[in-house]
Structure 1
Amino acid sequence: MKEKTILFLTPTGGRTGSEMMIWYLLRHLSGKIRSVIYSRQNGELFAKESTADITFINKSKKGFLYNIYEGIYFKLFKQTPEEARLIKIQKTVKADKWYLNTLTMPRFARLAKNLDVPYYVHVHELVSIYDEILYDDFRFQFDNAEKIICCSAIVERRIQQMGYKNTILLHEFIDTEKVVVKQNPIDLRHKLQIPADASVWLMSGSMNLRKGYDLALDLLANLPKNTYLVWLGSIKKTGVLHYIQQRAAIENLNFIELGEKSSEYYDYMNIADGFVLLAREDPFPLVMIEAAFLQKPIAGFNSGGISEFLQEGMGYVVDSFNPKDLADAIIQIQQQKIKTDKTILRNRALNFDIKNQIDKWVRFFNEN
C-alpha cells in the first residue's frame, strides 16, 4: 500500500496549545504516514526543531510594503503569494489530504477545494472564536470538510449542534517524555522571593480575555494573604496588563508575571502547590494535562474541557464564573476539605499521553 501523504497547515508554528499538539503528533507519526508541515509564520517550534518529514515555513514579514505587494499580486493573479506557494508545494509533495490545524485558516479550505484535494479541519476552538471568522468562510470550511476533528466532547457537541455529522472526537494530548523538571522548586521560589510558608497557585497560557487573566486579581483578593498567584506565559502589553500591574501594586497583591520561560517552563510550573484555570472558554487545555502529570491539584471555572478531564480526587470545577467561588474552592483544596490524590492526577494525565493516543490517530489517517 502506498504511504499516505498529509500536508499539515498551521497558523504560527509557535508554542500555542494546538501547535504543541501537532508538533508532538508529527513526531510520533514518523514512519506511519508521510507528513509535510507548512507554517504560516516563522514560529520557534517548527523553525528550530521540526518533527515533520518535510517542512515549509513562510518567512515573509508582514507589514505595510508587503500588504501593498500582496494586494497588487492578488489583483494580477487572483490569488495571494502565499496561496501561489501552497499550490507549488502541493504539486511537489502531491499530498493526498490537507489538514487545517485550527479553524482560523478558511482561505486554505477554499484553496483545497479548488485544487480538488480533500481536507480535514481540526477544531480546537469554541464559540467565541467563531465570532472572529466571516460567515461565508466559516460555513464553507465546515460544509466542504471531509472530516471535522474535534479536540473535546464539548467542541464536538457544538459542531454537531450546527448539523454536521462528519465529526470525530480525538482528544488533545501531551508528550510526557517532554515534561522534564531539572531545577529545585524551593530554589526557584527563593529566586522569585516567595516566602517558604506561602501557598503558590499557577496559571499558564497567553494573556487574553478568553483565558481570563483579567480576573486574576479578583481571585487573589479573595484568597489568604500568604497566597501567590503566578502567571506563566507570554505577556501582552495592553491596557489590561497596566490595570493588573497597578492594582496589584496598590492593593499589595502577590501577583507574579513570569513570561514564557520556554526552556524552563516545567521547572516553573513545578513550583506550584496547585494549578488554576481562569478561562471563560477553553476546549481542552494542554496545560491542565501537564499540571496533572506534575501532580498539581486543579481548580477552574467550568469553561469547557476541564469538566471532561477532571475526575474525583483531582481538584474542583466551579459552576460559575465568580472569582470568589473559585477562591473558596482553592481554599478548600488547601485545607484538604476537597481531597486530592497525586496518583489519580498522574494516571489521568497518562491517559492523554501521546503514546496512549497515537494508535487512534494512525487509524484515522489510514481509514479516512
Structure 2
Amino acid sequence: MSKNKILFITPTGGRTGSEMLLWYLLSRLSGKIKTAIYTRQDGELFSNHSTADKTFINRTKKGFLYKIYEGIYHKIFKITPEETKLKKIQRQIKANKWYLNTLMMPEFAKLAQKLQIPYFLHVHELVTIYDEIRYQDFKFQLDNAEKIICCSSIVEKRIRQMGYKNTILLHSFIDTEKIIVTQSPSQIREKLNIPNDAYIWVMSGSMNLRKGYDLVPDLFQFLPKNTYILWLGSIKETGVLHYIRQRTSLEKLNFIEIGEKSSEYYDYLNIADGFVLIAREDPFPLVMMEAAFLQKPIVGYNSGGISEFVQEGMGGVIDSFNPKDLSELMLKVQNNLIKIDKEKLKKRAMEFDIKNQIKRWDNIFN
C-alpha cells in the first residue's frame, strides 16, 4: 500500500505553542505517513531541527518593496508569489492531503480547494483571534475543511456552536523527553540576583494582551515583598511594555523579563516555585503541561484550557479576572494553605505526553 503524503503548513517555524506541537508530532508519526513541512518564515525550529521527510522554508523578506512586488504579481497572475511557490511544492511532492496549522492562513484553504486537495484545519485559537481574520476568509476555511482538529474542549465547543460537526478533539501535548534541566534553580537565581528567600512565580509566552502581561504590575499590590514574577518568552516592544517597565521601575516591583532563552528554556522554567497563567484567553498552553511535569503548582485565570487540565492538588483556577482574586490564590500557595501533590502534577502531565497521544494522530492521518 502506498504511503499517505501530507504537506504540513505552518506560519513561522518558530517556538510558538502550536509549532512546538507540530515539531513533536512530526518526529513521532507512523512510518506509514510520508511528511513534508512548509513554513512561511525562517523560524529556528524547522530551520535547524526539522523532523519532516522534506522541509520547505520561505526565506523571502516581506518588506515594503516586496509588498509592492506582491501586489503587481497578484494583479497580473491572480495569485501571490507564495501561492505559486506552494503549487510548485505540491507538484513536486504530490501530497494527497494538506494540514493547516492554525486559523491564520485562510488563503491556503482557498488554494487547497482550487487544487482539489482535501485539508485538515488545526484550530489552536479562541474567539479573540477570530476578530483578526476577515469574515469570508474565516468562514471559508471552516466550511471547506475535511476535518477540524481542536486542541481543547473549549476550542471544540466554540467551533461546534457555529454548527460545524466535523470536529476531532485532540488535546495539545508535550514531549517530556525534551524537558531537560542542566542547571540548578540556585544557579539561575544567582544569575538573576534573586535572594534565596524569594518566592518565584514564572509565566511564559509571547508578550501580548491576550496573554495578560499588562496585568502583572497589579498583582504585586497584593503580594508580599519577597515575591518575584518572571516572564519567560519573547519581548514585544510596544507601548504596553513601556507601561510595564515604568511601573516596575517607579514602584520597585520584582518583575524580571527573562526573554526566550531557547537553549536554557527548561532551566529557567524550573526556577519557579509556582507557575502562573494570567492570560485572558489560552486554549491549552503547552507550558502549563511542562510546568506540571516539573512539579510546579499551577494557578491562573479561567482563560480556557487551564480548567480542563488543573485538578485538585495541582493549584487552582480563578473564575474572575480580578488581580486581587488571583493574588489571593497565589498567596495561599506561597503560604502552603493549599495542599500540592507533586506526584499528581507529574502524572497529569504524562497523560498529555506524545507517547500517550500519538496513536490517535496516526489513526486520523491513516
Interval of TM-score (by shorter of Structure 1 and Structure 2): over 0.9
Aligned to 1:60: 60
Could you list the per-position Cα deviations for residues 80-115 of structure 1 after superposition, in whole angstroms to 9, with x for gaps in the alignment? 000001111111111111000001000000000000
- Tell me which residue corresponds to 2:155: 155
SS in 1 for 2:55: strand
SS at structure 2 position matched to 1:100? strand
Partner of 1:142: 142
User: Would the aligned equivalents of 1:30 and 1:53 in 2 still touch at CA under 8 Å?
Assistant: no
User: Is 1:172 the equivalent of 2:168?
Assistant: no
Give the CA deviation at 1:2: 1.3
Secondary structure of 1:264's aligned partner:
helix
Distance 2:88 2:266 in 1: 40
Given that residues 6 and 95 in structure 2 are in contact (C-alpha distance below 8 angstroms), is that contact kept between their aligned partners in structure 1?
yes
What is the rounded CA distance, in whole Å, between the counterparts of 2:194 and 2:220 in structure 1? 15
Name the Cα RMSD after superposition.
0.7
How does the TM-score come out when normalised to structure 1? 0.99
Distance in 2 separating the partners of 1:167 and 1:284: 17
- Within a 5 Å distance, the mapping from 1:22-33 to structure 2 comes to 22-29=22-29, 31-33=31-33
Cα offset, 1:337, TM superposition: 1.5
Amino acid at match of 1:95: A
Aligned letter for 1:348?
R
Identical aligned residues as a percent: 71
User: What is residue 8 of structure 1 aligned with on the other side?
Assistant: 8
Q: Counterpart of 2:77?
A: 77
* Paired AA for residue 108 in structure 2: F
Q: Which letter does structure 1 place at the counterpart of 2:62?
A: K
Tell me the residue number matched to 1:338: 338
Is this contact kept in 2: 1:110–1:140, CA < 8 A?
yes
Cα deviations across residues 116-158 of structure 1 (Å, max 9, x unaligned)?
0000100000000000000000000000000000000000000
The answer for the alignment partner of 2:132 in structure 1 is 132
Residue type of the alignment partner of 1:157: K
Per the alignment, residue 183 of structure 1 pairs with 183
Matched-pair contact (CA < 8 Å) for 2:30–2:362? no
SS of equivalent residue, structure 2 residue 8: strand
**1:199-251 superposed Cα distances (whole Å, 9 cap, x missing partner):** 00000000000000000111122111100000000011111111111101111
State the SS of the aligned residue for 1:34. Answer: strand
Which amino acid in the other structure matches residue 350 of structure 2?
Answer: L
Q: Secondary structure at the match of 2:86?
A: helix
Aligned residue number for residue 296 of structure 1: 296
Give the Cα separation in 2 of the matches to 1:76 and 1:69.
11
1:30 is displaced (CA, Å) by 5.4
3-state secondary structure, aligned to 2:7 = strand
Extract structure 1 runs of 4+ deviating beyond 3 A: none
C-alpha distance in 2 between matches for 1:111 and 1:187: 51
SS of the residue corresponding to residue 256 of structure 1 reads strand
8 Å contact kept, 2:6–2:36: yes
Which deviates more, 240-249 or 163-172? 240-249
Residue of structure 2 in register with 1:233 after alignment: 233
TM-score computed with the length of structure 2 as normaliser: 0.99
Aligned to 1:327: 327
CA contact (8 A) 1:202 1:276 kept: yes
